[in-house]
Structure 1
């Protein structure tokens, strides 16, 4: 067993080496077929080797993993200048000197097409210039940044955002190649097919190294690594350069602006022969890395025992109303355990600040934004215990669990369609009679028309809403003739307080109109919420 554990990795290393050697061989063959003069021309225009391979539709991805010196050596070994053998020694030395000078300058310059993206040259968030040799070095820097942010990930999606400058520069180079080489045979063979975009080339070169460094696979994931590359706005750069240096003329009569830390190109956007000789990028892009996770939803039911706790934060003119809120008591305890950026609280309906939420509890969802930690079943139980053991005992939770996005839609469906049960302490302006008990309990599926209550007109549209009172019954209170407990089951969204006192005639019928007297509600509790789609 010990021997197997040692030899297996060696075999894997050998397989990797063989695969790499095969890709190098294929890359060499592909480079041999490239037109030497066109490659030299692109190098003279400061197009990086990776962009040259990309524009010629070379798909062997290994070139992104090789440092520039090796890439240039592949070109130098496989693509000799065609007329070197026929030139004199002096001419040969001049050609070699020129090519060496071009290669040396190219290795240190910023690519005029990808603006340093495929060279892995960029300014970081501290505006420091960073230069990496190949994709693995760049992937290591990205992976370290991801790990520093503390995310627990099971997979990832790599997203890349590039400036439009790259597309514009590439179109200029492609137009230049077409104008100068369209009549040659290789152009139809090598440039007729679609080439790899800068974005796709970067993602292809980064995916495998990132998978190895992060220890997870890439794919359609809730966790996203987004690389955003930004560059100086070319229009503003041109305008600024034009003011500082003025315009210069070329033989075609096209006006070309001077350069200022960015691209130099035609002011009228027209591509003419020789224009790309002035195509030059001085600075690479600025890159920012952002890790984000799709929101996770933790659902359950809450019970509220205080008549001075609102459902959500209630602050008017910088003054808090009530001693706390259900939202803060639950979210404030769960958020730190998920290590997220923030949260949103969603509930299936709401109760007033002075209404207790009893019975089985009201369904809710807590939406945690960009959570670093996705809680396990054990963590969920710990959250529930922490909330329920608070000394204040204002709020308790039940049936906490991690839910998918479907939890939100299920809760909203239930909010509109399910029933709720209430218990209200009611006072009436006359002594209660035996007939009152029978009258109230005789109503089944009573239709009630409710105009938007006066107390919520400042935040609700003035509408007429029809609601259903499914059943009611009165429970007498010993020793009291004008107080009783009203138990009722209603359609979700019914205004219970207004159903009792009538709201100046805005709710009809009401308990007051049915009994023919004044009626006031003194205390109200939600005793049960018949919504089982979420947690039970």
Structure 2
């Protein structure tokens, strides 16, 4: 049968852990995982060899030795020991991952720790795979003409995603996740990217002389100079700054962008129902915020110069 024959052919030349062996047959059969596939292949090969010990002992022992060494498979080692065959102590590691695939739980816990400061309902896992690891996996597939496998990246993202979901109770979202956690498999460092949030509303401008957005100094282009008293701005404050500052404090975002639906002159007021606006907050840590409290915080911060209302996501 193809999987068994191919698995033995691979292990004859290359030491592989259960995950890296099973991954070569990932497209065969659903409802399982690569470690289970790899273990199952090694177990059936061990059982078959054990069954043929009496009929063809030399071939059976040869296969068991391959499984015990390159397969790093304890049942094969114990089967040999039962036959009075002791192997030399030889520590082997997986040719492709060097043991990395056994650290999925550790990596998942590391990601969960990195996510603890973020509000999120959904997430997605990504990873940076060392080129050497990918090259070894691709070379193995090419040399053994394997077209039933998947990539290391696909396995890691899926399986670690399942573990993170089980630990946190959050759901994986492939289209529009709240946060994306990327693990560098070379140094196991985690980077979290929180997708932007958008808050819309209307603003009123009760005083004249305030621009809608930050206006860089014409002389220094925002660098700071005597003309602008080192502020880098033509005007000391703007609607953008008065509105964004409290929002960034509340969400823990890295930066924000203010977009108004049109604009009024600097020396004009904006009364009536106000002008529609929307703000984009990049990499927010808090997403579940009370917009009524935020509205009050913005209006208090603006000290009557600017007022916002009707905030909504």
- SS of the residue aligned with 1:38? helix
1:64-83 paired onto structure 2 within 5 Å: 64=35, 74=43, 77-78=46-47, 80=49
For residues 246 and 178 of structure 2, the distance between their equivalents in structure 1, rounded to whole angstroms, comes to 23
Counterparts in 2 of 1:35 and 1:307: CA distance versus 1, 3 Å? closer
User: Quick one: which of 291, 305, 312 aligns to 1:394?
Assistant: 305
- Contact 2:254–2:282 (CA under 8 A) maintained in structure 1: yes
Counterparts in 2 of 1:95 and 1:203: CA distance versus 1, 3 Å? closer
Counterparts in 2 of 1:176 and 1:52: CA distance versus 1, 3 Å? same
Q: CA deviation at 1:350?
A: 2.0
For residues 283 and 235 of structure 2, the distance between their equivalents in structure 1, rounded to whole angstroms, comes to 30
Corresponding position of 2:91: 105
- SS of the residue aligned with 2:293? helix
- SS of the residue aligned with 2:162? helix
Corresponding position of 2:266: 353
- SS of the residue aligned with 1:289? strand
For residues 166 and 384 of structure 1, the distance between their equivalents in structure 2, rounded to whole angstroms, comes to 51
User: Quick one: which of 202, 207, 210 aligns to 1:301?
Assistant: 202
- SS of the residue aligned with 2:149? coil
Matched positions, count: 278
For residues 306 and 162 of structure 2, the distance between their equivalents in structure 1, rounded to whole angstroms, comes to 48
Q: CA deviation at 1:155?
A: 1.9
Of Structure 1 and Structure 2, which has the larger fraction of its residues in strand?
1
- Contact 2:107–2:188 (CA under 8 A) maintained in structure 1: no
Q: Which has the larger radius of gyration?
A: 1
Corresponding position of 1:478: none
Corresponding position of 2:80: none
Q: CA deviation at 1:293?
A: 2.8
How large is the RMSD of aligned CA atoms in angstroms?
A: 3.6
For residues 291 and 30 of structure 1, the distance between their equivalents in structure 2, rounded to whole angstroms, comes to 42
For residues 295 and 210 of structure 1, the distance between their equivalents in structure 2, rounded to whole angstroms, comes to 22
Residue 229 in structure 1 maps to residue 184 in structure 2: yes
- Contact 1:63–1:71 (CA under 8 A) maintained in structure 2: no
For residues 71 and 288 of structure 1, the distance between their equivalents in structure 2, rounded to whole angstroms, comes to 32
Corresponding position of 1:50: 19
Q: CA deviation at 1:101?
A: 5.2
User: Quick one: which of 367, 371, 387 aligns to 2:284?
Assistant: 371
- Contact 1:115–1:166 (CA under 8 A) maintained in structure 2: no
What are the ranges of 5 or more consecutive residues in structure 2 without an aligned counterpart? 73-89
Q: CA deviation at 1:351?
A: 2.7
Counterparts in 2 of 1:356 and 1:61: CA distance versus 1, 3 Å? same
Q: Residues 148-176 of structure 1, C-alpha deviation per residue, up to 9 Å, x if partnerless? A: xx112222222334345444323321232
Counterparts in 2 of 1:390 and 1:332: CA distance versus 1, 3 Å? closer
- SS of the residue aligned with 1:306? coil
Corresponding position of 2:135: 168
Corresponding position of 2:169: 215
User: Quick one: which of 124, 132, 136 aligns to 1:157?
Assistant: 124
- Contact 1:36–1:80 (CA under 8 A) maintained in structure 2: no
Residue 332 in structure 1 maps to residue 232 in structure 2: no
Q: TM-score, normalised by structure 2?
A: 0.73
Q: CA deviation at 1:34?
A: 4.6
Q: Residues 121-144 of structure 1, C-alpha deviation per residue, up to 9 Å, x if partnerless? A: xxxxxxxxxxx2xx3343223222
- Contact 1:295–1:370 (CA under 8 A) maintained in structure 2: yes
Counterparts in 2 of 1:197 and 1:82: CA distance versus 1, 3 Å? farther
- Contact 1:153–1:223 (CA under 8 A) maintained in structure 2: yes
For residues 388 and 65 of structure 1, the distance between their equivalents in structure 2, rounded to whole angstroms, comes to 59
Counterparts in 2 of 1:113 and 1:100: CA distance versus 1, 3 Å? closer
Corresponding position of 1:141: 110
Q: Residues 453-478 of structure 1, C-alpha deviation per residue, up to 9 Å, x if partnerless? A: xxxxxxxxxxxxxxxxxxxxxxxxxx
- Contact 1:295–1:369 (CA under 8 A) maintained in structure 2: yes
Q: Residues 162-214 of structure 1, C-alpha deviation per residue, up to 9 Å, x if partnerless? A: 34544432332123224xxxxxxxxxxxx4x5322222222332233221111
- SS of the residue aligned with 1:355? coil
User: Quick one: which of 177, 183, 187 aligns to 1:286?
Assistant: 187
- Contact 2:184–2:190 (CA under 8 A) maintained in structure 1: no
For residues 49 and 109 of structure 2, the distance between their equivalents in structure 1, rounded to whole angstroms, comes to 35
Q: CA deviation at 1:364?
A: 0.9
Counterparts in 2 of 1:48 and 1:226: CA distance versus 1, 3 Å? same
Q: TM-score, normalised by structure 1?
A: 0.45
Q: CA deviation at 1:114?
A: 4.5
Corresponding position of 1:312: 213
Corresponding position of 1:483: none
Counterparts in 2 of 1:74 and 1:140: CA distance versus 1, 3 Å? farther
- SS of the residue aligned with 1:332? helix
For residues 141 and 2 of structure 2, the distance between their equivalents in structure 1, rounded to whole angstroms, comes to 20
Counterparts in 2 of 1:65 and 1:176: CA distance versus 1, 3 Å? closer
- Contact 1:297–1:365 (CA under 8 A) maintained in structure 2: yes
Counterparts in 2 of 1:38 and 1:81: CA distance versus 1, 3 Å? farther
